[in-house]
Structure 1
Amino acid sequence: MPLPPVPMVEIHRGPLAESLHVGHAVICDGTGQIVEAWGDPDKLVLPRSSAKMIQALPLVASGAAAARHLAEPQLALACASHEGAPLHVTAVNAWLEDLGLTDDDLRCGAEPSRDKALRFQMIRDEETPCQVHNNCSGKHAGFLTLTQHLQAGPEYVDPDHAVQIAVRDAFETVTDQSSPFFGIDGCSAPNYATTMHGMARAMAWFATAGQRSDALSRAGAQLVQAMIAFPDYVAGDGRACTLLMRAANEPVAIKTGAEGYFIAILPQRGLGIALKVVDGATRASNCAIAAILVKLGVLDPAHPDVNTFLIPEIRNWRGLLTGEIRPAPSFP
């Protein structure tokens, strides 16, 4: 029988817990065994952008990244949900130029930059957002790199395209489960379903990848190292992934996904974490992943960047403190 989600995050106003977010979370070790779980480890989920490092595996394992001499910032971008800030846009444009391609070759769709300064400047200058501003454009530049390496057709987001077949194979390998279906993500690429246990197992696979010598594991280790070395490319200024990776007491790769998903990869411990907030609220998933990492000693709750997500204040339009977001008493 399916297990119910557990209380994870409360929204307080005065003395009242006004709202409650529930969810599922799993921690796995390098053998794929569950170390600790909340809710239902067998819950079927779409990990959304938390799966980007899996989607980037064929780029590296195939030799395409080496053939194009991709550096660590580009590998971090391949795993990123970035802000579309000048840092990211410049890097993706340079990557496309190196491939002999343009913005029109991307298939992620145009999106206004999430970097406020750039977005407002573009509005003032009457500039139209491009696909490079899309938060997934780094992943798609990676897809295009692999497409060229495989000498495949331009519609690389088609589920039957060689790139997506390679992604699905990698996904099923690291989750150690056959994916029963996929959904189309916001960037138009297939997003494969798995269980919470499968996703935590995959993150533990990444955490222990450096202990193995096969091509896929070597690729996994490279991607994790790139994310840890270049957190600004993984997300951006003010984002939970970037700030929590910077604040950590040990190397950790942290990656958000839409609809309340989060993962963490702990290479020194060989542990992988998968988290899903049922109602999809980012305010809750930010808090919940911070709470788990604080419990494990990876994050210090006194660090200001950690506290920003662990127990963020709620203020009204006059700036008055009206409440806070915090982990539920029983979690984690």
Structure 2
Amino acid sequence: MEKAYDVPDTVKADDKWLMPYLASLDPETDYERMISIFSQYSLNMFALQFVVTAGTLHNIQTPEGAETLAYTNKIVRRPNRRNADGLGFFWTWFANGPSHPRAKESIARLNDIHMGVAKHLPGGFKRTEDFIYTLCVIGTLQSRIMADLGLPTLPPFLKIAMHHEMRALAEQFVTVDALVTGFPDSYEGMEAFIEAFDARDWGAATQAHTTIAESMIDDFATRFFPPYLHWLGQNYVKFAVKEHLLVRYGVTPLTPEEREMTANVMRTMYVTQMMAPDSKVSFLDTWVPPSNDEILAADRQYAAVADARGWLKGGQETLAATRG
């Protein structure tokens, strides 16, 4: 994966080099470099998939959001293909910055994909708020989880940089009618936008919500936890998703005791990571994407699980289940 930004080894001489380096930059003008370096040297596959899973389960609360993902069915029966595609988009944007030609081409391609799906789903990809909400969640979710655990959130200079990065991405997305406009004017505005969006009544959940929620929680637990700890992987996701959404999707939320236990485990994990030396190697220098053959083989197993669980198969079956 190509990247537009990196830092020389001399900058990484100290064990804790990352935050001092980022603090030395100007978030008003250097936000693309800041977010690129922060992402490359602080994220790993577990963290990425955790945020993607929990974030998606917030994004599907609208009827159109759930229907779209159930219709294409990549999450349910081809999660490895979707992960590979999603990581390709993520790193193209975050490693290069929204202004880079590679990022612009990538967003344009995703816009084309959205418009192609919209032809089959009248009403989909029409609301500007849906795009804004998704980007706000991407930019704030990890920090919100840290706050829920009583741990330090992003420092102010990174919150400014993250806001500018998300706003610059948003300006390149389109609905079926127009460019996305109206992005919040600050990081705090992003958080307020999420709270207002989550408080809206989006109607009763459908089978699409349940299928997506169950399949994504199961996928995360299976992907990163051994069988005897699948329950803990599921708890991680449930901790990160707002309780009223889980209830609405038909997913049993954590009990107070389960939530406290899960928080203690997660807090220990994060504190251990915070105390460890900063990585001196970019994630992109060690990441080896799976081959197409590996993706196909893995997804055949997921499709069999989906059939056994009775999850929606996508296409017209989804429309029948969500629209009648």
Coarse TM-score class (shorter-chain normalised): under 0.3
> TM-score w.r.t. structure 1 length?
0.27
Q: Which has the higher contact order (CA 8 A, sep 6+)?
A: 2
| Structure with greater helix percent | 2
Choose between structure 1 and 2: higher strand proportion.
1
Please give the TM-score of this superposition, normalised by the length of structure 2: 0.27
